[in-house]
Structure 1
Amino acid sequence: MRMIGRRIAAAFLALFLLAGIGPTRAGAASAEGIAMHGEPKYGPGFSHFDYVNPDAPKGGTLAMAAIGTFDNLNPFIVKGAAAAGIGLLYETLTTTALDEPFTEYGLLAAKIEVPDDRSYVAYELRPEARWHDGRPVTVEDVIFSFETLKAKGLPFYRAYYANVAKVIQDGGRRVKFVFDGTPNRELPLIVGQMPILPKHYWEGRAFDQTTLEPPLGSGPYKIKSVDAGRSIVYERVKDYWGADIPVNRGRNNVDIIRYDYYRDPNVALEAFKAGQFDLRLESSSRFWATGYDSPALQKGLIVKEEIPTEGGTGMQAFVFNIRRDKFKDPRVREALGYAFDFEWTNKTLFYGQYTRTKSYFANSELAAQGLPGPDELKLLEPYRDRLPREVFEKEYEPPVTDGSGNNRDNLREAVRLLKEAGYEVRNGKLTDTKTGEPLAFEILLDQGGLFERIVGPFAKNLERLGIGVSLRTVDDAQYENRLQNFDYDMVIATFGQSLSPGNEQRDFWGSEAADQPGSRNLIGIKDPVVDALIQKIVSAGTREELVAACRALDRVLLWNHYVIPQWHNRVTRVAYWKKIAHPATMPRYGIDLFAWWVNQTEAAQVEAEKKGIQANPN
């Protein structure tokens, strides 16, 4: 998974070398790819990934939508709202195959070398790799990128590369990352995901400040035009150095990629149906069920497709900010969970399309199941006196209702927990008996309105308990700023998970990240037990150890009631105008939109029929 942007979540664990490559140094071997476990699927000299069409036609325009606004073309810093698609400008040392749980293959790097003890990783840069100004990508650029991202980039980078002791030039075009000895078997893979920046471009420029000057990259696209806050257009680099290397063959097929910004998803959907843009990933069950009805859909000009994916879905939830005193007691957090009626919400608002989330690693083998097994107990027993007893005695299940909308029994249980935590109703308000303060909080929402209809019924149930709840919807820039500075009581957030979690768990739940503005520890967790279990994940030496550590962490997070779990879906919903085509074989663990292409013949027909619809809308 590419490590560009704020809401990125991926990481990985172990390392084995590609078979058949002879040793280059004592105890080390050089390869085109490295895998988490076993061997990479694609052997030496492979021509392309199986889920691409190597003969896909080039050309055409792909228009997509973004919501809100943007004021920055540097996606690697805390400040500003970065433009959609800006990662297209940059390349990484390696890239991931989406039909494997986690394997990295060389992108900027032609070869990857690791020793048996995994104390370092070395990359040999491709001699043909070039920046868009024609200058070569150098080892100096790699070292500059590492140092700059750690010093001035998002806090994510400091957490992710915490165990890298130094980066050095190791002769010619080789760059070597030396690790500090902390057990971390994933580092040789995740270091390869680092975006590489041009040192000569950024010297003399303020990296930590927002900018609307198109930056220099080495990727398949460059910026063609920018209308700040409204649209951004990318054009395919015609002499792109990496167009024909195996990991790129059959990809980056569209000549022009345009992102138009809309104020909310409702307006964007209407624009899509009118043919203002070409492809839409749909997150709203209501829109998917009823929102696409239109003459274009009826005529077959719009295609709706549900694409199964086997990757983990992570956790989407109402997230408590436990930096706030009102949410420090886990009994209060648990009680508020009884006010969310998922069954009614799914039936009434979602057309029954979703599954309730019960794990931070949902839809994967990493999710805790039943009671802890022997391998999990070995990790949990040393902390028994510091953990909720339910971790050892019960399988986590969120509150359940009959879906009728009458969740009186659950609200009674909420009252019991709140009373136990020291609250009682006074003059219609739930009040802390020690401080005399009523319990009230704000739920912060991003603009767009999609969650307001979901949060509204939840808020009404909370009000029935005597809790004062206000909903605050703000624009995208203000929302990002408040998230980065932890200025909220409750938000709705998603913690995405890969099939091989690792370093990013520190940024999600680690104590050090809790006080770092811009980190993804939105909850504010500071728990030595959580830190210890994260280290077990990072240092796991086998798949079995990784699974046990993830399940143990899952139980601890769930039974501390840091969030109110929401829901997940096991398909990706994509709507597109029929001029867009994709390969017959889709990857198991995601969707590679850049392996899709524009059918020029269909495009001409679509435009003609679109004019007919506009002339006769009925």
Structure 2
Amino acid sequence: MRAVTILLGLLLVLPAFAEVHSGHAITMYDAPKYGPSFRHFDYVNADAPKGGQIKLHVIGGFDSFMPYLPKGSAAAGVGGLGPSYIYDSLTVRSLDEPFTEYGLLAERMEWPDDRGWITFTLRDEARFADGHPVTAEDVVWSFNQLTEHGQPLYAYYYADVEKVEALSERKVKFTFKPGDNRELVMIVGQLPVLPKHFWKDKDFTQADLTVPMGSGPYRIASFKPGKQVVYERRDDYWAWDLPVIQGQYNFDRVIFEYYLDQTVALEAFKKGDYDFRFEMNSKLWATAYTGRDFNSGKLVKEEVHHQNPSGMQGFIFNTRRPLFQDPVLREAMAYALDFEWSNKQLFYNQYKRTRSYFQNSEMAATGLPSEAELKLLEPLRDKLPERVFTEEYQPPVSDGTGRPRENLRTAQTLLKKAGYEVRNGQLFNPEGKPVKFEFLLYSPAFERVVLPFSRNLKALGISADVIRVDESQYLQRVRNFNFDMIVGGWGQSSSPGNEQRDFWSSKAADRPSSRNYAGIKDPAIDSLVKTLISAKDREALVTSSRALDRALQWGFYVIPNWGMDYHRFAYRSRLAHPDLPPYLGVDGALDLWWDTTAE
């Protein structure tokens, strides 16, 4: 009897064994749409012909094939924050689910209920382009290189990874720090896997034109520094038969042509010098996509709706600058942007005003905080603006005249009450410093938008010099936060998570090349980011996103711009695409397209 009592006591104090899940896919909250025996994603054309080519354009230049470092200008298509034709990852995301990862290099994943770790078992057939097997050591090496030497995003994205270890030649384990971070088991699968043996006698930290070698579907066939890079589809790509690859990467060649000017690039497209164009400029979309080839059908103009959160684009204040550390000034300056006039006169009424950092999604904060949001916000009340609790944020609305007198009067009232004063047409802050700043640009297309804003600021006594520099200088200045104000933004996924650290955290504010462009250092926002990352289910994620949104909105870190819920494409009629999925990237999911002349 005593032995039974002791045994029962031991059972009470010993931890219960957590269930370990194993599968071909992993989701954020629900079951994956596609089962283990699926043949291909629903949105692809599995019978798309292989062959032909597609030419694309890029503005600027490139001086590197190393996209993962915080220096240099990497060639399009090689990877980094954009798509990679060179490198495979452990998993790939489907485009018709909010957030599900399916195995690519990994054939199987295992994780416990608490998601405190995950193992990936690599496929036997996974090979780099030189025939060398992709191993667990390559995964460990890639993780260490990217988090130690790569873009700051990687260090923040994977900050909660405690260790990565190769358990065998084909099995790698990621162990996470204590805490709730449901997303980690998924985003570690997005890690690009680089060949350790290839870099053995090379300097990984040099952003140069060393031609890379990966395990992906293309190789670099040729290039002209700063002008052109040609990718050639690999017949010996190891993954052609996998369900996650079916119907994709259909072009034999993908060619990126570089142009220094958008006007020249558009004319080159109309002449037939390249094949596909994603248009960002509303005026060009409304006026320039005309002519014989459009009338004959040789060139196709198309608008495709999507369900992606559009995030926030805005005029970003660098709050590292003493001038912009006053939220009253930041709020007042927003009244000088006449969106209604710009939308009518400059944008052909194609845009909607952005008001949320999670625009076009259920995560955008509207109305007053819900009870669930208040549970997150109340403990931070003394650190947050009172209006987080009492008002719904809306950007100023004008009469659309181009000279928003009522809005400017509101701004003047705010500034006067805060101790600002105008002397001889110049606004001075309460410390007696003139309110002057530079608006840094590299794209001439935005000058027509910024200059009317600058003129309205002048009516407030604020001097804003619009400065345009070349792309290389612009990148260096932004990476080192050497600017007063820029046009920029933060894209959002349908399942935000660890990347929010890189956007808003106090630590990111001090790290060059982070995406905390605004220089936000706020313990309340740090806390809300942590809460978002640890959300246990979709409902909690939406609630925490809305709470974070409110704190950012009332911080006046940007003057919100505009956006839309559709993409604008033009392309040569020999190209074709399937019905495009709801979570569509800005490139139009070109990996799903094909060349009809290849049939």
Which residue is equivalent to 1:55?
47
Instruction: Tell me whether 1:489 sits opposite 2:481 in the alignment.
Output: no
Structure 2 equivalent of residue 369 of structure 1: 366
- Of 469, 473, 478, the residue aligned with 2:468 is 473
- Where do 1:21-36 residues align within 5 Å? 27-36=19-28
CA distance in 1, matches of 2:415, 2:77: 46
| Secondary structure at the counterpart of residue 338 of structure 1 | helix
Preserved CA contact (<8 Å) 1:579 1:600: yes
Q: SS state of the match for residue 264, structure 2?
A: helix
Q: Distance in 1 between matches of 2:200 and 2:427?
A: 57
Q: Which runs of 5+ in 2 are unaligned?
A: 1-16, 79-83
Conservation of the 8 A alpha-carbon contact between 1:424 and 1:430:
yes
Per the alignment, residue 172 of structure 2 pairs with 175
Q: CA deviation at 1:596?
A: 0.3
Tell me if structure 2 keeps the 8 A contact 1:329–1:421.
Answer: no
Query: Deviations for 1:485-511, whole angstroms, at most 9, x for unmatched residues?
Result: 000000111200011111000000001
Q: Provide the residue aligned with 1:249 in structure 2.
A: 246
Q: Does 1:146 align with 2:138?
A: no
How far residue 446 of structure 1 moved from its aligned partner, in angstroms, is 1.8
Contact in 2 for aligned 1:57/1:599 (Cα 8 Å): yes
Match of 1:511 among 489, 503, 506: 506
Paired residues of 2:51 and 2:598 also in contact (CA < 8 A): no
Per the TM alignment, residue 588 of structure 1 is displaced from its structure 2 partner at its CA by 4.2
1:522-552 deviation digits (Å, cap 9, x = unpaired): 0001111001000110101011111111000
The residue identity in structure 2 corresponding to 1:438 is P
Q: Which residue is 1:265 aligned to?
A: 262
Q: Residue in 2 aligned with 1:191?
A: 188
CA contact (8 A) 1:101 1:589 kept: no
Determine if contact 2:50/2:598 at 8 Å carries over to the other structure: no
Partner secondary structure for residue 572 of structure 1: strand
Query: How far apart are residue 205 of structure 1 and its match?
Result: 1.5
Aligned to 1:613: none
C-alpha deviation, 1:401, in angstroms: 0.8
Q: Secondary structure at the match of 2:198?
A: helix
Is structure 2 residue 399 aligned with structure 1 residue 402?
Answer: yes
Deviations 1:152-200 (A, max 9, x none): 0011111011111111112341100011112211100000001111101
**Match status 1:437 vs 2:433:** yes
Partner of 1:65: 57
The one-letter code sitting in structure 2 at the alignment partner of 1:550 is S
Task: Give the 3 Å change call, closer, same or farther, for CA 587–56 of structure 1 in structure 2.
Answer: farther
Q: Does residue 343 of structure 1 match 2:340?
A: yes
Counterparts of residues 2-401 of structure 1 (less than 5 Å): 27-86=19-78, 87-401=84-398
Deviation at 1:513, TM superposition (A): 0.5
- Give CA-to-partner distance per residue, 1:120-155, whole Å, 9 cap, x none: 010000111111111111111000000000110011
After superposition, give the CA deviation of every residue in 1:345-385 in whole Å (9 maximum; x if it has no partner): 00110000000001000000000010000000000011112
Name the amino acid aligned to 1:598: D
One-letter amino acid matched to 2:406: D
Distance 2:338 2:74 in 1: 35
Letter in structure 2 aligned against 1:558? Q
Runs of 4+ in 1 over 2 A off after TM superposition: 584-591
Structure 2 distance, partners of 1:36, 1:266, is 43
- AA of the residue aligned to 1:497: Q
Aligned partner of 2:421 in structure 1 is: 424
User: Any idea what the Cα deviations from partners look like across 1:547-583, whole Å, max 9, x if unmatched?
Assistant: 1110000000000100000001100111001011001
SS at the partner of 1:531? helix
Q: CA deviation at 1:468?
A: 1.0
List per-residue Cα deviations over 1:242-271 (Å, max 9, x = no partner).
112011000000001100111122111111
Name which of structure 1's ranges 414-423 and 267-276 shifts more when overlaid on structure 2. Answer: 414-423
Superposed CA RMSD: 1.2
Distance (whole Å) between structure 2 residues aligned to residue 419 and residue 593 of structure 1 = 53
* Other structure's SS at 2:336 match: coil
Moved more, 94-103 or 402-411: 402-411
Within 1, Cα distance between the matches of 2:30 and 2:115? Answer: 15
- CA distance in structure 2 between the partners assigned to 1:411 and 1:358 by the alignment: 20
> Shift of residue 585 of structure 1?
5.0
1-structure distance, mates of 2:320, 2:598: 57
Matching residue's letter, 2:40: H
How far 1:293 moved relative to its partner? 1.2
What SS does the aligned partner of 2:238 have?
Answer: coil
Q: How far apart, in 2, do the equivalents of 1:550 and 1:589 lie? A: 21
The 8 Å contact of residues 94 and 104 in structure 1, kept in 2 or not, is answered as yes
Q: CA deviation at 1:423?
A: 1.5
- How many positions carry a matched residue from both structures? 576
Q: 2:533 is aligned with what amino acid?
A: V
CA contact (8 A) 2:314 2:487 kept: yes
Q: Against the structure 1 CA distance between its residues 587 and 408, is the aligned structure 2 distance closer, same or farther, given a 3 Å change threshold? A: closer
* Aligned-partner residue type, residue 488 of structure 2: A
Matched position secondary structure for 2:571: strand
> SS in structure 1 opposite 2:464?
strand
Structure-2 separation of matches of 1:37 and 1:320: 36
Structure 1 residue 204, shift from structure 2 partner: 2.2
Cα shift at 1:433:
3.9
| Unaligned runs of at least 5 residues, structure 1 | 1-24, 603-618
2:574–2:595 CA contact under 8 A, matched in 1: yes
**Residue type of the alignment partner of 2:470:** D
1:203 is displaced (CA, Å) by 1.6
Give the residue type in structure 2 aligned to 1:72.
S
Aligned mates of 1:324, 1:288 — CA distance in 2: 37
Give the percent of matched residue pairs that are identical in Structure 1 and Structure 2. Answer: 53
Q: Which moved more, 1:292-301 or 1:64-73?
A: 292-301
Whole-Å separation in 2 of the counterparts to 1:195 and 1:284: 32
Deviation at 1:46, TM superposition (A): 0.5
State the alpha-carbon separation in 1 of the partners of residues 392 and 498 from structure 2. 27
CA distance 1:577–1:542, shift in 2 (3 Å): same
Secondary structure, aligned partner of 1:88:
coil
Distance 1:155 1:420 in 2: 40
Distance 1:432 1:585 in 2: 52
Task: Report whether the alignment pairs 1:412 with 2:409.
Answer: yes
* Cα shift readout 1:106-128 (whole Å, capped 9, x = no counterpart): 01100111111111010000111
Match of 1:554 among 544, 549, 555: 549
Aligned to 2:563: 568
Distance 2:68 2:583 in 1: 29
Q: Secondary structure at the match of 2:422?
A: strand
Q: Secondary structure at the match of 1:505?
A: helix
